[in-house]
Each structure stands twice: as structure tokens, then as C-alpha cells.
A and B are shown apart, each in its own frame.
Chain A
């Protein structure tokens, strides 16, 4: 069934878009990531202009992360205090990122910069997660109990001042690294046009040593707030949010996210991290492939958006 999208200005198959929403929603519910780094390329692939795709995906991510966050909230697997502290850094980071984004666009080669940063970031984060989680799985297999958190595993991060106790996460850390992580996520997210969940999840696990179960719900709260405000910002600044497209994606996304959240709770922490690591690495390799392999058409034609 074809439906014409009023802002994207092309007809799309409703069921195809719905299915894409469900699939990405499942993944986002399972890992606590927004899924923007999966959905945006998919939409561009079916012919929607990159600007409309980025703007509309934001509201889809807001919907699926809200339904996911509610599911985790009921299980008390969510640290609201930690989320608020991250958000404080995140807002400043987003502003700085938006500023650098316009600067890079003025210099040209923005596509290449985005492609390269996807490859480097996704490749590094994915590899790191795979190595760590494989080690954890092997340790468990050898019969040794899965290492929870050794008291001696404190790093220099834990020596910083302004310590706060986050009860749900069972950590006692300085707010400085929390703000720094929030800032970095907001900054990178604004430049690369992604929610940054796939960066936040490993950062909280490995740097802050927050339990995997709590990380996912907390990450969703952060994603929800940033993506809901991104929707409004995109709608105000460039009028490129396609509400019809967003609604179809949302309906699919929230359904997928519900099942994903349940599947995520059933899988052991280190396995979940291995799966996410593989996914992140796969997307990173896909971007690397695009950069290295000769494109089918070395020419491209783009409409220059009218400046309003």
C-alpha cells in the first residue's frame, strides 16, 4: 500500500516503513540505543532525502525510547538521578556540536567527515565491546564466576572530587566524569545526527561501572529527552519533520521496542554487550565499505535547500 509523504514528497510503501520501524525498534529496545545510526541510512536507502530522514527519525526515536523507558521504569531498572546529571552535560554538548556542524558544512566535505567519524567511532567502540564481552563470556565458561565489580577496580576517575551517590546504579562517583560523558554524547550526537545511545551504553558500563541492567533504561531517558527536543528544533529551524513518516515509524518502533526490551532482559549482560558490539562494528564496516569501494555512480545530484 503506497502513501504519499507530505514533507518528504515521495510515495512510500506503508508496510515496508512499518517493518523497518519494528526491526529498528526491537534493536533499540533490546540494547537501549536510539537506533538512529540504523534508521537514518535505511530511510535514505528507500529514497528519502537525508535532511528529512534525520529530522523525522528524531521523533521516531523519542517514541520508542519513551515506551522502552516506561518498561524499564516499572522494573526499576533505571537511574533517574544519573540520567539528569548526564543530561546537564548533554545540553551543553549539543549546543557546541550544532555550532561545529554549521562550521564544517561551510567548509564542505561534511559527508566525508560524517562517514569517517562513523567508521572510526563505530569501529573502535564495536571492537572494544566485542573484545571485552568475549573475555567475560570465556571467563564464565571456564567455571569462574562472572566478575561483578571488584572493589579494587577503581580507576583515576573514581578519585575525582564532587562525589555523588547514585543509589539505583550502586555507584559513588564524581559528577565531573558524568558531565563529561554527557557533553561528549551531546556533541558527537549533534555532529553525526544520532542519539548517541550506542556510545553512552559502553561509556557507562566501562568508565562508570554502572550495572548493564540499569544502563539501558538510563540511556533511554537521555535519548528520549534529546530526541524530543531535536524534533522540535528541527521542526522550527528547517520544517523538515515529516509527521506522516514519523507516525508510521513510531507505531512500528514502539511495538518493536516492547519486544526488544523483553528480549534484552532475558539475555545475560555480557552476551548483550557482545551482540551490541557486533552490530556496532557491522555498521562501522558498512560505512568503511562505502568509503573504500568504488561507488556505482561517481556523480551525485543534490537539490540545494533554499535558505529561509
Chain B
């Protein structure tokens, strides 16, 4: 990620903050370094920068405890199935499975300190902030609902997604530049799914939510990658025939090139 978009984002925040807002309460102004992440042939992941400013005016009360910020980035929803293996007659086979319906394909919870220090568990649960607080609807005996945090299938799901780099909770990823200006880095690994991502910024003070601001960013394939993807999806037969022809051509060329007689 070059410095220029990050700088532009910072400028935008400063200008918007100067414009002022409703009196009394704090409000949030945020800006992303880019709202459009392009996946090209040499894509190996991206780092986005989010800048935010907390607006106050003369009538805003002083916050002795300082401000806390929680940034939640959520990727497009997908349905996953988590399975558990067990040894049956000497062979490891899947014995238990659980379907996670419309779970975020990507989830990053970034904050300036530990979430449990920012607000109470009850507040965090209500706002669905944090990997342990987010609601993960699952199919259980025909019903749909979430289960206890220590449920083995639920924690295995979170652990595997975290290992893939797609879920993360970082209590040190938001940095305050001044008491009212902050920045945060949003890491997108190379295996990010394409689609629309929701960026949700929450401002806390003394354990209470003061302001909230949401924006979106989009991860798209571009150029050749986009062309191949569209061709495969919209013109399946032609695409298949072209691939098969490509195979025959490659095979034929090789037999010509390597011909010895």
C-alpha cells in the first residue's frame, strides 16, 4: 500500500472534522485509505489504513478515562461446515458436523486495548464486538442458534479461521495519534474472499458506546483475473471448450517441439 492514499485519507478526516457536527455529544469521522481493493495476478494481500477523528465541541463533557475505539471489519457472509473426526474401527472418520450459517468469511476486530477493559461483556455481546462476543448462528438439531463459548466445534471453527489469517482479534491494532485522532491498519491476507466488506468503527468512553460509524470497502478481481472469472461463470460451455482446446494445443505443440525424427 503506497503512502499517498493513506495521506489522502488523513487529510479527508482533518477536513471533515473541521466542518463540525451536532453539539454536545462526540461524533466520529473516519476515512479508509481505499474503498476498492483490486486483486490482480500478483496479489499477495493488502494492508489498508483507517484514519478516524473524534469530534468534540465546547459543550462536550470531559472524559477522564480517555477514548477507546473498536474497529470491526466483516467480509461477505458464507456458510461453513465444521467437522470432527474420531477413530471408528481403527479408521479416522467424521463423526460430528455443525453448519455455521451466514458466518463472516473475514472478521477483524481491532482495538486500542483489551476489549474486556473497554466495555463490559454484556455491552460487547450486545454490540457483537470481539470473536468471543459475535453471534455465530449454527444448525443444531434442526434449529438455528448459537452455543456456549466453550463448545468444541465453535472454538475449533474460530481457531481454524484464525490460523487461515481470516479471523483476528488485535487489542493493539488501533493507535491514538492525538487524544482525538487515531489510525488502524486492516490487514487483508492473500486468501481474502471477494465481495463487499463492512467497516464498523465504534467509539467508547467509560465502558459506554458514544458513537458509531460504518463504511464499506470492496474486494474485487480486476483485469485478466476478472476476465477469466466472468468467462468461467457466464460462458461455462465456451470456457470449457476453450480450456480443452488449449489442452490439445499444448499437447500437440509439445509433441512437435520434442519430435526427434
Hey, which bits of chain A sit against chain B, CB under 8 A?
Answer: 2-4, 6-7, 9-11, 47, 59-60, 62-71, 74, 108-109, 111-112, 116, 228-229, 231-237, 239-241, 243-244, 246-247, 250-251, 254-255, 257-258, 290-295, 297-304
Contacts and interface: CB of A to CB of B under 8 A. Distances in A.
A246 B81 contact: no
Contacts of B85: 295, 298-300
B254 interface: yes
B243 A235 contact: yes
Nearest to A61: B247
What range describes how many residues of B lie at the interface?
35 or more
B80 A9 contact: no
Contact of B80 (A60, A240, A301): A301
Given A241-B232, A301-B160, A59 B246 contact: yes
Interface string B38-81: 01111110000000000000000000000000000000001111
B204 interface: no
B62 to A, nearest CB: 47
Contacts of B241: 232, 235
A237 B82 CA distance: 26
A235 B87 CA distance: 37
B184 to A, nearest CB: 25
B251 A236 contact: no
Q: Is the interface of A mostly helix, strand, loop or mixed?
A: helix
A258 B42 contact: no
A300 B85 CA distance: 8
Given A6-B226, A235-B240, A303-B78, 20 more contacts: A2-B44, A6-B221, A6-B229, A59-B247, A63-B254, A64-B251, A67-B250, A67-B254, A71-B258, A112-B94, A232-B240, A239-B236, A243-B228, A246-B246, A247-B246, A250-B246, A295-B85, A298-B86, A298-B92, A299-B153
B239 interface: yes
A303 B43 CA distance: 22
B225 interface: yes
B11 interface: no
Given A4-B43, A241-B232, A298-B84, A231 B247 contact: yes
Nearest to B166: A301
A295 B99 CA distance: 21
Name the residue among B84, B248, B252 with the largest chain A CB count within 10 angstroms.
B248
A304 B191 contact: no
B94 A111 contact: yes
Given A7-B229, A11-B43, A294-B92, A70 B252 contact: yes
Contacts of B225: 4, 6
B91 A292 contact: yes
B255 A70 contact: yes
A64 B250 CA distance: 8
Given A62-B247, A228-B244, A67 B255 contact: yes
B94 A59 contact: no
B81 to A, nearest CB: 5
B93 interface: yes
A257 B250 CA distance: 12
Given A4-B39, A233-B240, A301-B160, A66 B81 contact: no
B193 interface: yes
26 contacts: A6-B221, A6-B224, A66-B247, A66-B255, A67-B251, A70-B251, A71-B255, A116-B91, A232-B244, A236-B240, A239-B233, A241-B239, A241-B240, A243-B228, A243-B232, A243-B239, A246-B243, A291-B91, A291-B92, A298-B84, A299-B82, A299-B84, A300-B94, A301-B157, A301-B161, A303-B80
B156 interface: yes
A304 B81 CA distance: 7
A291 B94 CA distance: 11
A240 B233 CA distance: 9
A64 B258 CA distance: 13
Contact of B244 (A59, A68, A303): A59
Contacts of B236: 235-237, 239
A264 to B, nearest CB: 14
A235 B90 contact: no
Contacts of A235: 232, 236-237, 239-241, 243
A304 B41 contact: no
Contacts of B86: 298
A239 B232 contact: yes
Contacts of A70: 251-252, 255
Contact of B87 (A67, A68, A112, A294): A294
Interface in B203-249: 221, 224-226, 228-229, 232-233, 236-237, 239-244, 246-248
Contact of A304 (B79, B193, B221, B252): B79
A273 B261 CA distance: 27
B252 A67 contact: yes
Contacts of A290: 92
A236 B237 contact: yes
B161 to A, nearest CB: 7
A9 B191 contact: yes
B250 A63 contact: yes
Contacts of B43: 4, 11
Given A74-B261, A247-B246, A297-B160, A10 B191 contact: yes
